[in-house]
Chain A
Amino acid sequence: MKMTGNYRQGIERFIPSPAEAVVLATLLFFTWYLYGGTGNDVFAGLSTFIVVAIAWVLGVAIRVALNDMRWWLLVIALLLVMAPWLALNTFQIAVMTEVLVFSLLLHGLNVVTGLTGQMSLGHGALVGLSAYAVAILVDHWDWPLLPAMAAAVALTFAFGFALGIPALRLAGPYLAIATVAAALVFPLVLKLDSVQDYTGGVQGLRLHKQPQPPGFIGGFLENESIAKIPEQKKFAPEEVQVKERQKFAQATYLYFLCFGVAAIGTFAAWNLQRSRFGRAFIAVRDAEVAATSMGVNTALYKVTAFGISALYAGIAGALLYMVVAFVAPESFDLFNLSINPIAYLVIGGLAAPGGAMVGAFGYKWGPEVIKKIARTDTDFDKLQGALTGLMLIVVMTRMPQGVWGSLTRLNSFSWKALINETKAWVLSRTIAYWLAIALGVAVVIAIGAWFAPVWGVFAAGLLVVAPQDAWAGVFLWLRSLPAIGRRRAPAPGDAR
């Protein structure tokens, strides 16, 4: 990821590029969000300032020194390591743990959908399969946790290979339908009377003994946890405080277990994509028939892709059960089974390990942020799906390379160019156009549709993140609206 182009020279190199600004703004928002809950504004403000300032200085310094944008990865890795200390309470650590777990699922889905171009809408069920396998082995047959997890991963892996075989016969939309059906049947089967003894029916299964941090690590983490004890419990009886400390130690321990696995998984995914295998997968996606006639064994690669991706999903499922200590059929509704994995993978960015990480982050934190907003309007909570869908559509139509892809491209883009571009566009509009827009905004505000501006600002934000051609795309799109749109006839030879 060497920087391309020489947009920034001289003093401009020390100003964050638009991409870096986006990263810093995100950081700012989340640090503020994390510390905002302490009720201590001075503390929150100061911490936020310090974190962002350090990231800025570190990031820009490394970039200027190395002329390389790999500093991001460094900063991100550093922040991830520090996450348990940055987090305010045990719950936030747990959410971060789930981010890591979910990133594994997205890496797996990426192999099938991003690289091989097969549309799978059923990966949530593979996670569920693995989680349930662990749960049943532990709960019903009293297996120890670790072998149970290994067995579950192996089972899911094998199942993934089996899934790949029908995928050989099915093209695009047919595969999507088949996988969605296979996924939706999963929670129904769990609830059947005949298997209730094993699956616990709607009640689900609970893990009674989560792994404990071994002695010295546990002691260290418990010591570290003192700052994490909530204000109101600081003066609670000793045993309550001890419990809080143990909870922190436990959560942090699980976090680092998952961190290790996710780090290996991400590294493997990154390597896979650059390997011979990865290129063969992409060949299958881009020109299946041509690849076949060139001697690529497409069937083998497709099945392998499914296997690898099921391996990832299986690991994610086993970890999920370990972390959450609970599975029930309700966790596997249509959204969790089918829509969210693919949606957040696409939003994060297909065919890039970074995209899977960004997607996982959005998947877990998006709802939390919405819940926070929803404190003033509880019904707002229900709009989570709408947020997901909106982001998905904006990304699909305006920036198909996803947030990650846009970020990496935006870095070779200077403020000056952005400003000039925007200025040129603004000037090219007539005054009547701006009056109409202003009128529209006024009407929206006047009729009290307060949520519309929120969405609008959000969508606009996404577009700011989008690269140059996405801007152009939006303008072209807006301009084409008044005309009765036409479809461009396909090029000769590809008539359906």
Chain B
Amino acid sequence: METFFDQLAIGASTGALYALLALALVFIFRATDIVNFAQGEMAMFNTYIGWSISRPLSFSWIPFLSIERHINILNWHPEVFGIPLFLGSESDGSTRLGYLLIVIGTVAIAFVMGGLIERLIIRPSEGKNLLNAVIVTLGIFAIVNSIANWRYGPVPQNYPAPFKGNAVDFGLFKLGQHSLFALIVGVAMMFAIYVFFQRTKLGLAVRAAALNPQASELMGINTGQMLTLGWSLAAAIGCLAGMLVAPSVAGISPNLMLGVLLYAFAAAVLGGLDSALGAVVGGLAVGIGQTMVVQYIGSEWSDIVAFGLIIGILMVKPTGIFGSPVVKKV
């Protein structure tokens, strides 16, 4: 019985990550009717950017700007809420960015990249035919995947994590520190997203622009900017999910998000492709289901079950649990 609750907790933690990526998918689908097949790869690439900036800083190639030297000479150790921004000198005398700075930097880069992709690639292909835009996301998938392979190679790399210690014992179940951290961050993010969309004016405007672009323009909303914002947010959320996934698997590799994307799709389809609540519920259900399948049936079945779930739901109830019905227009 103990293993059952352990698995339940682990499942909830992975499920939270699936839910995050599924939320990113749902955002983009709601705003543009595009299923973004490149969501996982964008997250993977941004996670790699996080990996690059987590490595020992070396700016020696820029004259007069050797950060490590400055930091060491001044013996400067800035902190935020007790979290160091820079990790102290390592044995080789190098300095690294602290986890907080890595996260902020990476998410910021992801945010900008998401917006750029929307502006430069998605928008020119928009409007003609929805098929075009979906095919374009496949193109982005191919480009990002192969550039990551080319640039970083197929070997998984260690990924920084803030908490790596022993599992925490909650009595009923035990949960690894990183999984616990992922669960907390995941839930916090979902809450933040909820607040953004339900309680802020900007969030309301993003929703309105997705619902009825023309009426939104008449309210003074720049719908183009809202779309870019939607893609940026989706990229940032995906990136955060990627940064939480990487330490909990073997490390970061170009295939990091393939599996996660699959489960996120299963989650989104289960909950309804256009429902944010559905993405969250679906993500948790799929995460827990996956750990159970691995535990009690066999790991080689877990992907097959996920695919089967996607196909089965689409055949029986394409709108998922919470989705709204599809209307065909003349």
Contacts and interface: CB of A to CB of B under 8 A. Distances in A.
B26 interface: no
Contacts of A382: 146, 149-150
A167 B235 CA distance: 30
A169 B147 contact: no
B181 interface: no
Interface in B166-209: none
A265 to B, nearest CB: 24
Interface stretch (B64-72, B210-218, B238-246, B278-286): B210-218
A457 interface: no
Contact of A489 (B214, B300, B303, B318): B214
Contacts of A386: 142-143, 146-147, 150
B227 A487 contact: yes
A185 B149 contact: no
Q: Which of A171, A180, A387, A496 has the most CB of B within 10 A?
A: A496
A216 B43 CA distance: 60
Interface in A346-377: 346
A110 interface: no
A484 interface: yes
A289 interface: yes
A355 to B, nearest CB: 14
Interface stretch (B8-16, B46-54, B118-126): B118-126
A184 B307 contact: yes
Contacts of A185: 303-304, 307-308, 311
Interface stretch (A72-80, A230-238, A335-343): A335-343
Contacts of A488: 127
A343 B142 contact: yes
A176 B134 contact: yes
Interface string A121-137: 10000000000000000
A490 B315 CA distance: 31
A171 B227 CA distance: 23
A54 interface: no
Interface stretch (B77-85, B91-99, B100-108, B322-330): B322-330
Instruction: Tell me whether chain A's interface is mostly helix, strand or loop, or mixed.
Output: helix
Contacts of A485: 119, 123, 224
B125 A181 contact: no
A393 B127 contact: no
Contact of A178 (B127, B217, B311): B311
A5 interface: no
Given A177-B314, A178-B311, A385 B269 contact: no
A324 interface: no
Given A385-B145, A484-B224, A166 B34 contact: no
B225 A484 contact: yes
A487 B213 contact: yes
Given A389-B143, A392-B138, A494 B329 contact: yes
B308 A392 contact: no
Given A181-B310, A385-B145, A392-B136, A496 B213 contact: yes
A417 interface: no
Q: Which of B134, B217, B300 has the most CB of A within 10 A?
A: B134
B33 interface: yes
Contacts of B126: 487
Contacts of B37: 176, 180
A473 B127 CA distance: 15
Nearest to A476: B124
Contacts of B304: 185, 188-189, 192
A117 B131 contact: yes
Q: Which of A166, A383, A389, A489 has the most CB of B within 10 A?
A: A389
Given A185-B307, A496-B212, A289 B142 contact: no
Nearest to A345: B135
A185 B119 CA distance: 34
Interface in B287-320: 300, 303-304, 307-308, 310-311, 314-315, 318
Interface in A104-121: 113, 117, 119, 121
Contacts of B121: 393, 397
Contacts of B130: 172-173
Interface in A176-212: 176-178, 180-182, 184-185, 188-189, 191-193
24 contacts: A119-B135, A166-B314, A169-B318, A171-B318, A176-B134, A177-B35, A181-B310, A188-B304, A188-B307, A290-B330, A334-B258, A380-B150, A382-B150, A386-B150, A387-B146, A388-B142, A389-B142, A389-B144, A390-B143, A396-B136, A473-B124, A487-B223, A492-B214, A496-B210
Interface of B: 29, 33-35, 37, 119-121, 123-132, 134-136, 138-147, 149-150, 210-215, 217, 222-225, 227, 258, 262, 265, 269, 273, 300, 303-304, 307-308, 310-311, 314-315, 318, 326, 328-330
Which are the 4 A-B pairs with shortest beta-carbon distances?
A: A385-B146, A389-B142, A389-B143, A392-B139
